[in-house]
Amino acid sequence: MSAYESASHYFQTAAGVMDLSPNMQKLLLTPEREVKVQVAMKMDNGDIATFVGFRMQHNSARGPMKGGLRFHHEVDADEVLALASLMTWKTAVVDIPYGGAKGGISVDPRSLSGNELELMTRKFVDELQDVIGPDKDIPAPDMGTNAQVMAWIVNQYEKFHGFNPAIVTGKPLELHGADGREEATGRGVGLLTEALLGKFDRTASESTIAIQGFGNVGSWAADYLHSAGARVVAISDISGAFYDSKGIHIPAAIAYVREHGTLKGFETEKMITNEELLELEVDVLIPAALGGVLTKENAGNVRASYIVEAANGPVDPEADDILQSKEIIVLPDILANAGGVTVSYFEWVQNQQYFKWDLDRTRNELSKKLTAAFDKMWSIATEKHISLRSAAYLIGIGRVGRATVLAGI
Amino acid sequence: MLPTELTTLQVFHGLDEPDAARICEGLLDREFSPGESVLTEGDDTQALWLILSGECIVSRNSEQGERILAVLNAGDVFGEMSFVRNAPHSASIIAATPLKVCCYKREEFLTFAAERPEAGYMIATNIACVLAERLRRMDTWVCDMFERPKTLDDSGSRDEWQNFRSAVYTNWDF
């Protein structure tokens, strides 16, 4: 099932609970603007290359649109649109004053030299600079883009519009980035995992955890939970999964990756496969790598009690039904990984105010935002006897709906 | 039509018998069967129509299709708008039952009014009263249209918006 199909399915489930008419669903799902541009450039070897770039601006009822830019060879209009609508619900769930957007270029960035990547980014900004802006649409890093790419975007945008650090978030610290932005998504996953366990009178220190994916999100989540006393028994990356029944020493694993660029060769009790990791008998399973890792084929084998969706869309709708029937609690992606966009918002606020926060303040505000969102989701789910996912979508759709009703069309 | 009958109609109310008799001479009797068209919206016949017996429907074409504005009976008049002002008919008239009407042409009235200005003034005032009454009804309609969205049982085009409003407000605490 594609990202687009999954997103529509979850939207429709929630819209059904709310009894929204088909026309109103259409109003909420149709993007405000779809931009598709040509990005043409001279390559290092003299060839002319032409790429296709997108920016899908889904909804601005609650504020300027916000969402990542991805450079990936599988970027296509449908997927970007689905992700843009997810951003609309996500920013509403954590109650930050943004709408939703997403964009990217269909290209494998590893096939480009550093110069080519920079040139392509700048050409893309030339095409988009009219439709983005600190009060219109604020891009951020995503798959295949990073703080360096954001720095190029700011620089190129400022050639047209003057000093404007708030045009993107996820910038380098030296160029108006925010302390705590890098750890934010993983930290949010950790905070929310603790909040979820707390609802069942459990603490992190008496829980076992398996994390699939040890990139930015997985490693920061592991670090947070390890510090909170949890026993992280399995971690993984593309080289395989690493298991230790006594718990993996996470700071050592992070140091190892920093040195070697991969977990390959890291020593633990035993190696298992990424598939086996998903089926471990642990308290919490955190898929933090790719979408669609839990499907109807393997959802029945999951033995964890709780799943925290750190990645976007790791559980497809069919697997979601199976997990629900097994009474496995799923903390949905639109809240679970919203720590990133929340601290992006803090970065934008600091840029708009020309005032830099210290790390403690960022962490504090992040915790307040995510806890409030979690509590609201939990109370609606228990009150209406619906899943956490439906509750989160309901809140997102409801808040966007209220803004739409108040403003009119 | 007898002059005494004529003066019972609002438009000719207050005329003395010789004047009423003079007007009766100028009336043309017409008959229509059910479903037959009497006047078509946009046509340009300048005459005042008096219903002697039967029933007819006043309708108008809109974007949503044919809209019925009113049903008229014996004693009612129609065509008065294009009678006083040289303009095409603003609505269509269709016979709903066997319909007997008589038609008073604008030229007849102009000739009559030139000879009998006092009686002509009386008829013109009566027509103004009919139009004023219609305008008053129109005001009520317009007010109703603006009031309607405030109620939930509105069956107009704003229904869906109201349902959406209650879907996001009434049942949930976000």
pLDDT digits (tens, 9 = 90+) for A128-169: 999 999 999 999 999 899 999 999 999 999 999 999 999 999
Mean predicted confidence (pLDDT) in B25-46: 89
Nearest CA in chain B to A17: B167
Question: Are the beta carbons of B172 and A399 separated by less than 8 Å?
Answer: no
Distance from the Cα of B149 to chain A's closest Cα (Å) equals: 14
A303 plus A219 within the same structural domain: yes
Distance in Å, alpha carbon of B121 to nearest chain A alpha carbon: 52
Looking at residue A220, its amino acid is: W
pLDDT at residue A8, as a whole number: 86
pLDDT at B150: 53
Mark whether A124 and A203 lie in a shared domain: no
Name chain B contacts of A405, Cβ cutoff 8 Å.
Answer: 161, 164-165, 168-169
CB A101 within 8 A of CB A174: no
Domain of residue A275, CATH code? 3.40.50.720
Angle at which helices A339-353 and A359-384 pack, to 10 degrees? Answer: 130
A227 and A112 part of one domain: no
Q: In tens digits, what is the pLDDT along chain A, a chain of 409 residues?
A: 777 788 889 999 999 999 898 999 999 999 999 999 999 999 999 999 999 999 999 999 999 999 999 999 989 998 899 999 999 999 999 999 999 999 999 999 999 999 999 999 999 999 999 999 999 999 999 989 999 999 999 999 999 999 999 999 999 999 999 999 999 999 999 999 999 999 999 999 999 999 999 999 999 999 999 999 999 999 999 999 999 999 999 999 999 999 999 999 999 999 999 999 999 999 999 999 988 899 999 999 999 999 999 998 899 999 999 999 999 999 999 999 999 999 999 999 999 999 999 999 999 999 999 999 999 999 999 999 999 999 999 999 999 999 999 999 8
ipTM (interface pTM): 0.75
Question: Per-residue confidence at B7, pLDDT binned at 50, 70, 90?
Answer: confident
Residue A268 shares a structural domain with residue A125? no
Q: Number of helices and strands (H, E) in chain A?
A: 14, 12
Note the pLDDT tens digit of each residue in A204-256: 999 999 999 999 999 999 999 999 999 999 999 999 999 999 999 999 999 99
> Residue A273, exposed/middle/buried by CB under 10 A (0-12, 13-18, 19+)?
exposed
SS3 B95: strand
Cα gap A66→A167, rounded to integer Å: 10
Strand-by-strand arrangement of the A284-287 sheet: A270-272, A240-243, A231-237, A208-212, A284-287, A306-308, A329-331
A27 and A93 part of one domain = yes
Q: What is the pLDDT of residue A305?
A: 98
Interchain CB distance below 8 Å, B164 and A21? yes
Question: What's the average model confidence in pLDDT over B20-41?
Answer: 91
Interface check for A399 against chain B (CB to CB < 8 A): the answer is yes
Shared domain for A268 and A242, answered yes or no, is yes
Q: How far is CA A299 from the centre of its chain?
A: 22
Shortest Cα distance, chain A CAs vs residue B170, angstroms: 11
Answer whether B168 sits within 8 Å of A376, measured CB to CB. no
- Rounded Cα distance, A163 and A332, in Å: 38
A window 317-376, beta carbon within 8 A of B: 376
pLDDT of residue A2: 76
Task: Please judge whether B164 and A401 are an interchain contact, meaning their C-beta atoms are less than 8 angstroms apart.
Answer: yes
Please report whether residue A375 resides in a domain: no
Burial (0-12, 13-18, 19+ Cβ within 10 Å), B169: middle
Task: Report, as an integer, the average pLDDT of B11-39.
Answer: 91
Could you tell me which of A273, A152, A281 has the C-alpha nearest to residue A207? Answer: A281
Residue A386 lies in a domain: no
In chain A, residues with a C-beta closer than 8 Å to the C-beta of B160 are 21, 23-24
Please tell me chain B's helix, strand, coil percentages from 3-state DSSP, rounded to the nearest 5.
45, 25, 30
Does residue A213 share a domain with residue A101? no
Six-digit token pair at B16? 């003395």
Which residues from A are below 8 Å from B168, CB to CB? 18, 398, 401-402, 405
Whether residue A70 contacts residue A104, with contact meaning beta carbons closer than 8 Å, is answered with yes
pLDDT higher at B150 or B7? B7
Give burial (CB, 10 Å; 0-12/13-18/19+) of B44: exposed
CB contacts < 8 A (A, B): 35
Residues A30, A94: one domain? yes
* Helix (H) or strand (E) segment spanning residue A68: strand A65-72
> DSSP string covering B113-160, please?
HHH-HHHHHHHHHHHHHHHHHHHHHHHHHHHHHHHGGGSTT--STTHH
Report how far residue A113's alpha carbon sits from residue A110's, in angstroms, rounded to the nearest whole number: 8
How many angstroms separate the CA of residue B173 from the nearest CA in chain A?
8
| A394 close contact with B: CB closer than 8 A | yes
Assign residue A33 the CATH number of its domain: 3.40.50.10860
Chain B residue whose CA is closest to A28: B164
Chain B residue closest in CA terms to A25: B164
CB A147 within 8 A of CB A141: yes
Residues A144 and A215 in one domain: no
Residues A114 and A76 in one domain: yes
* Same domain, residue pair A127 and A221: no
Mean pLDDT computed over B60-69: 80
Closest by Cβ to A402, choosing from B163, B168, B171 = B168
Q: B168 and A23: CB-CB below 8 Å?
A: no
Q: Cβ A399–B167 below 8 Å, yes or no? A: no
Residues of B in contact with A19 (CB under 8 A): 167
Q: For A61-72, what is each residue's pLDDT tens digit?
A: 999 999 999 999
Helix (H, G, I), strand (E, B) or coil at B66: strand
Confidence (pLDDT) at A1: 74
Mind telling me the catalytic residues of A? Answer: 102
* Confidence at residue A232, expressed as pLDDT on a 0 to 100 scale: 98
Mean pLDDT taken over chain B: 85
- Does residue B151 surpass a pLDDT of 70? no
pLDDT at A203 (0 to 100): 97
**How many domains, chain A?**
2
Answer with the one of A122, A140, A166 that is the final residue of a domain.
A166
Domain interval for residue A277: 184-327
User: Closest Cα to residue A167, out of A186, A144, A148, A150?
Assistant: A150
Paired tokens of A393: 């979508």
Whether A228 is in a domain gets the answer: yes
- Contact yes or no for B168 and A18 at CB 8 A: yes
DSSP letters, A83-130, are HHHHHHHHHHHTT-S-EEEEEEEES-GGGS-HHHHHHHHHHHHHHHTT
Asked if residue A9 and residue A155 are part of one domain, the reply reads yes
First to last CA, chain B: 72
Kindly list the residues of chain B whose beta carbon comes within 8 Å of any beta carbon in chain A: 160-161, 163-165, 167-169, 171-174
The alpha carbon of residue B144 is apart from the nearest alpha carbon of chain A, in Å, by 22
Please, which residues have CB within 8 angstroms of residue B169's CB and are 6 or more apart in sequence? A402, A405
Q: Which domains does chain B have, with CATH numbers?
A: 3-142 (2.60.120.10)
A17 inside domain:
yes
